[in-house]
Amino acid sequence: MTHTILRTTLAAAALALSAGFAAPAHAQKNPMVGGAPMYANKTIVENAVNSKDHTTLVAAVKAADLVGTLSGPGPFTVFAPTNAAFAKLPPGTVEQLVQPMMKPQLTSILTYHVVPGRMTSADLMREIKQGGGEAKLKTVQGGTLTAIPGRSGKSVFLTDAKGNTVRVTTANVMQSNGVIHVVDGVLMP
């Protein structure tokens, strides 16, 4: 079961999509992500494959063999890197990670982008407030992400185990099995 949850979480992270962060979780029905509508009644996988901004993530999820997991009931909160986020990695990193021999490392990275449960931006901000300015989020991979508010108090930043910080650029893309928040960088465990 743990392997199934991990695989589901990873797939969710890899197929993540986006919507506006400051907006309430249900403010926009079927938001557009990567040029395609994201339907709240479809799974993370059913929606993600249509986003032109997440083709790298989708390819990574397929290489990690996590597609089936993300079609499960969840719920999952996925912090989904865009193609531009993956492009910030050193040259050749993505090509290396999708090789069959790198599957364990790829799975670890992808599941590090997934948190069990459905956490909207309002939930994240509440956790940050309760944590005195930061929230520790336990990932499916087993590591921890630290969430902090942006200067405006309406955006969220995440810091990974390596000290890298990424910004949630689009929040609250509701899915039948979770929620996706698009991020501008790749988190590393």
pLDDT of residue 71: 77
Residue 148 belongs to domain spanning: 2-183
CATH number at residue 16: 2.30.180.10
> Distance of alpha carbon 8 from its chain centroid, rounded?
12
Instruction: Decide if 152 is inside a domain.
Output: yes
SS3 74: coil
The DSSP code for 90 is P
At residue 4, the pLDDT reads 39
**SS3 of residue 141 by DSSP:** coil
- Count of the separate structural domains present in the chain: 1
Confidence band of 28 (pLDDT split at 50, 70, 90) = low
Under the banding of pLDDT at 50, 70 and 90, the label for residue 9 is very low
What distance in Å separates the CA atoms of residue 99 and residue 121, rounded to the nearest whole number? 34
- Residue 60's pLDDT is 93
Q: Given pLDDT bands bounded at 50, 70 and 90, which one contains residue 63?
A: very high
In a domain, 69, yes or no: yes
Q: For residues 38-64, give the mean pLDDT.
A: 88
Average pLDDT over residues 161-172: 95
In a domain, 104, yes or no: yes
Report if residue 177 sits inside a domain: yes
Mean residue pLDDT across the chain: 84
pTM, to two decimals: 0.84
Query: Is 189 domain-assigned?
Result: no
* 76, part of any domain: yes
Q: Is residue 188 part of a domain?
A: no
**Any domain includes 163:** yes
3-state class (DSSP) for residue 73: coil
Residue 115, CA distances (Å) to 36, 99, 118 in order: 24, 25, 8
